[in-house]
Amino acid sequence: GIEFIDSYVFNQVEYIRFNSTVGRYVGYTEHGVKNAEAWNSDAGILGQEKAELERYCKHNDANYYSAILDKT
């Protein structure tokens, strides 16, 4: 399967990340945890991440498999 990670970094420290495997945001700092709680309760924000997963990963996954199949 595909795992889509969308990391948010401030001053070279990752403070929050969307992980498609768990389908929600995870905070890594005090600020990130507060944002994760807010963003996880916002269906619109979660929907945007899930749309990115569909748009980017599924499209490129199909291209990747197509390229492999073409070479065999």
Contact yes or no for 17/26 (Cβ under 8 A): yes
Confidence class for position 54, pLDDT limits 50, 70, 90? confident
DSSP 28: S
What percent of the chain has a predicted confidence (pLDDT) above 70?
76
pLDDT tens column, 10-26: 899 999 999 888 899 99
* Range with the largest mean pLDDT of 18-22, 36-40, 51-55: 36-40
pTM higher than the cut 0.85 = no
Question: Is it true that domain 5-69 has CATH number 3.20.20.140?
Answer: no
Question: What is the helix (H) or strand (E) element at residue 47, kind and residue range?
Answer: helix 43-52
Domain boundaries, given as residue ranges, for the chain = 5-69
Tokens standing for 45? 């924000």
d(CA 40, CA 23): 9
Asked whether the predicted pLDDT for residue 60 surpasses 90, the reply is no
